[in-house]
Chain A
Amino acid sequence: MATANDEEVLEGFLCPICKADLKSASQLTSHFESLHQEEQDVLKSLKDIFGKAKKIILNTDDADLRETFDRALKLNSQEYYYPLEEQTVGVTRSSTDYFKAVRSSRLERYAIETNKLLIRLDKLVCNMPSDPNHRKQYEQEIVPWLDGSSVNLCPNCAKAFNLTRRKHHCRLCGSILCHDCSVFLDLNIAKSIVDPSRPQTSQTEEVNEKNGLRLCEHCYNLIELRKQVQENRNAKTVLVTAYDQMRSLMEQAKPAVAMYEKMCQSLFDGETTYNLSDVNAMRGRIGKLAEGIDILSKQIVAFPAEPGTRQAKLQNSIRQAASHYIKEDLLSLRKLPTEAQIEEVRRQRYERAQRQIQKERERTERERERRDEGAEPSGSWVDSASHDDDNPLLEQMNIIRGYIKEARKELRFEEVEILETNLKELKKEYHLQKLSNKS
């Protein structure tokens, strides 16, 4: 262990000063406190790093506690019988289709008009001359203006036109309206509507005839609606990005935890598919994921938001959910068995297997004795060992061992499992071959 490579040093509990392996976080901390008092800064960082790992390690007591709790509960309460019933989600009825039919028949009318307006808007803003007089002419070329001679009242507010209340035209539909009834669309915004790839420029100065487009309320509303729909599609903030990252880490954590449970169980069962160090590494990886989630959620909560707004509330909720998730799902992992426990379980298993083999052997031995009594025992043991080196099976086994080592290093434990079964099969094959050679 102590001579392991660099990566394992990071994962294990080695003292950064004297490189001694302390086996556990609390021992390491106390070792550090007693022997390296002068390096208190390192100690602090050490505590931080192992803060999470420590919680994982200490779950011995967790399990004990749960047991206590369960035991106490059982003292006085009987188990209730509940009929096992496959309950499926209740009846639902969807009206989405009807809703969408009504909506689209209504929006279609708008859509045709909006598209017409958009085409005009595109032409208007694309090659707009900067000179006001040319501009007016240009605008009239694209959209025919309504002849105002017979219009005496503003169609919108029904006030009479006169010297002070002049006639104006909506630049998109060409209809007549007074100044009070007209709305101005910022040219920059207009450009960004027809070309969504343009960077949005946000300015709050007053929009007037010069830097804006005179529109009637109706056209303005249609264009505005269109703009909002467009914005909704492209709404992606830093918060969303950070959040998505956090969720993807959570997605990764789920199979990792499942894998860990499986590996742990396999250790407890005394199988040799995984080593203790494998499982420890897995634990470390889950710890890292937890840390990543923790950091991202802290980032989210730290995004600027005015206190009391829903944005702030949202960020707090996300943080709360994340820390709950880490506590409940990632840090409450089951405790690993110690080296000694594993040895014990493995020994038992081995002994069982040995007994089985012994029995098997005795049986075949007896059978053989019965079958060919007097036949001479062959000395092929030595022979088979001599031409072992160039056996293709052995070669393959070595290759697979290499693969396993590599997969282990990169924490791909699903692969390790498959390779280990392969290796086992090869071993069996090899064994059979040897037996057949022998006989």
Chain B
Amino acid sequence: MNVIQAVKMYITKMTEESGPGMKVILMDKDTTSIVSMVFSQSEILQKEVYLFERIDSHTKWDNLKHMKCIVFLRPTSENIALLSRELRCPKYGVYFIYFSNVVSKADIKTLAECDEQEAVREVQEVFADYLAVDRHLFSFNIVGCLHGRNWNQTHLQRCSQGLLALLLSLKRRPVIRYEAGSEVCSRLAERVRELMRREAVLMDNNIPFNGDLPPPQLLILDRRDDPVTPLLTQWTYQAMVHELLTISNNRVSLADVPDVPKDFREVVLAPEQDDFYAKNLYSNFGEIGQTMKSLMDEFQKKAKSHQKVESIADMKNFVETYPLFKKMSGTVTKHVTVVGELSARVAARQLLRVSELEQELVCQSDHAGHLQRLKALVGSEGVRAEELWRLVALYALRYERHAANALPALVEALRARDPPAARAAVLALEYGGAHARQSDLFGLQDAAKITRRLFKGLSGVENIYTQHTPLLKDTLEDLIKGKLRENLYPIVGGEDLSSGRRPQDIIVFIVGGTTYEESLCVHQINQAYPGVRVVLGGTTIHNSTSFMEEIKHAMQGVHRTHTRHIRNI
């Protein structure tokens, strides 16, 4: 179950089916991202694809009849209309059409009637309809999937179609489970089941039944059950880059970094194309620094000896024409630039101080002490409002039911500094407070968890900045051990799990977005349980900024019912 591989194979199939010759690929906005997530431009050039065009670009183009056109589109009605127009006056010699999801017969008929020049050779559905971020991680890039606590209909459709495509691309026919306490999860689960039933023939013909293995499970969760994870400062490389610099479609913009070299205004961080990144994306910040230093030392030594060897020839010219040298120096410089910027931001925003309190808030219990330190931070000028709202939100969630809860005073203090930040903190409580959660997020009720925490406190923690483990870890471990309770996570359609409680293949989807911290946790589970394969997905992949957006969307037009006592927001 490797989602990157699945998408890659589809795209390779498309480029190969059209045979040799110059090719152009015609895409829409979504499919462009889907392709760019798994292939670099130079890779796709080697497949004879030389031009990339957007179907919705309005430029009048010249005819290129000697080219083969690979069309890769989502089957939306706009795309069908645009493609009909294209086929009526074809600009390319032949067309190979691929839709990224189920397309209706009526739409195919419309297209066929436009193809008067008989330019179309293939019409197919391939199910690469999601963004493959890592081998076990996918996303739909939707921030704000809920509107007023309920599904935005367009997004609901996109997610259900995307999940269907995911199942077809991985050839899995799962049972679907969802979080019982969440209305949105049950809606999505129903929708996916409905789509699966509609495509039952396609699934049955292509996905072999295997009675010996327990069926795969698709588990649909709600972000509101764990609003804490996206609020925390991250310390592993990938998660940190996303939190501090924002990764969008594997690209990181460094444009606002002072003195950045021209080549690095925007850098690509894709584990498939960048060895260094692939090996270090889960390393923590300290390790990265060390690796980086030794790499630099060795590299400089090498570069020096290199210069000696080549002193006769023109060194500069040499370096430029020397692909490997350039590639490696490029990789090293890229990561040095990124890490340098990360450490600058960590220092400027006093993130070590902030992170320490964050971790203690969620993992330990000391209301008086935490409140005191939090107040001090709110009063300190060096900490930005972007960090403070997260801290206040964490406090609000953690001590929601505490007798001495001082949230109104904290919010008031924050409002004096930055009104939107104060509002965001209150909305976070409204979004993911105790009323919206079904799990024991802070481990306050479960006796085992309480003792575990007690022991942890006694033995001391290894790293104060990485004490937190996401709720997802417990959920997944329960699921793998067959202990995930069926009343809390029922199966859609009321089927029972008699055929197997301990699934080997698990697909988790989080409505409201997942995080790189959870991706790391899934990665660790895949390592720790041989034979078990977990794939994680979300409506998007959050950092704290996008999570704030998510909350705002979800709370739009909703009257605050659980935070009424906080006024003036």
Contact = CB atoms under 8 A, between A and B. Distances in A.
A439 interface: no
Nearest to A61: B306
Given A76-B291, A91-B168, A92-B126, A310 B302 contact: no
A385 interface: no
A127 interface: no
Contacts of B526: 81-83
In this complex, the member of B50, B135, B169, B526 whose beta carbon has the largest number of chain A beta carbons within 10 angstroms is: B50
In this complex, the member of B108, B116, B117, B306 whose beta carbon has the largest number of chain A beta carbons within 10 angstroms is: B116
Q: How large is the interface on B (under 10, 10 to 19, 20 to 34, 35 or more residues)?
A: 35 or more
A415 to B, nearest CB: 28
Interface in B38-93: 42, 45-46, 48, 50-51, 53, 61-62, 64-67, 93
Contacts of A235: 65-66, 93
Interface in A89-108: 89-96, 98-100, 102-103, 106-107
B111 interface: yes
A20 interface: no
B195 interface: no
B527 interface: yes
Nearest to A66: B324
A88 B171 contact: yes
A73 B295 CA distance: 7
A83 B135 CA distance: 12
A103 B120 contact: yes
B66 A236 contact: yes
B124 A102 contact: no
A60 to B, nearest CB: 9
Interface stretch (B1-9, B223-231, B357-365, B447-455): B1-9
Contacts, number: 201
A434 interface: no
B20 A247 contact: yes
Q: Classify the secondary structure of A's interface with B.
A: helix
A90 B171 contact: yes
A232 B65 contact: yes
Interface string B249-276: 0000000000000000000000000011
Contacts of B194: none
B112 A327 contact: no
Interface in B86-121: 93, 103, 105, 108-109, 111-113, 115-121
A107 B112 CA distance: 10
Contacts of A102: 108-109, 112-113
Given A87-B2, A95-B123, A321-B50, A65 B324 contact: yes
A72 interface: yes
B488 interface: no
B51 A313 contact: yes
A68 interface: yes
B531 A83 contact: yes
A401 interface: no
Interface of B: 1-2, 5-6, 9-10, 13, 20, 22, 24, 42, 45-46, 48, 50-51, 53, 61-62, 64-67, 93, 103, 105, 108-109, 111-113, 115-128, 135, 168-171, 202-203, 206-207, 275-276, 279-280, 283, 287, 290-291, 294-295, 298-299, 302, 306, 309, 312-313, 321-325, 328, 523, 526-527, 530-531, 533
Given A73-B295, A321-B45, 12 more contacts: A72-B291, A73-B279, A76-B283, A76-B294, A90-B168, A92-B10, A92-B126, A94-B125, A103-B113, A235-B66, A310-B51, A317-B45
22 contacts: A29-B313, A62-B324, A76-B290, A77-B280, A83-B530, A83-B531, A87-B5, A87-B6, A90-B10, A90-B126, A91-B171, A96-B123, A99-B120, A103-B112, A107-B116, A110-B116, A229-B117, A243-B22, A314-B51, A314-B67, A317-B45, A320-B45
Interface of A: 26, 29-30, 33, 55, 61-62, 64-66, 68-69, 71-73, 75-77, 80-83, 85, 87-96, 98-100, 102-103, 106-107, 110, 225, 228-229, 231-232, 235-237, 239-240, 243, 247, 309-311, 313-314, 317-318, 320-321, 324-325, 327-328, 331-332
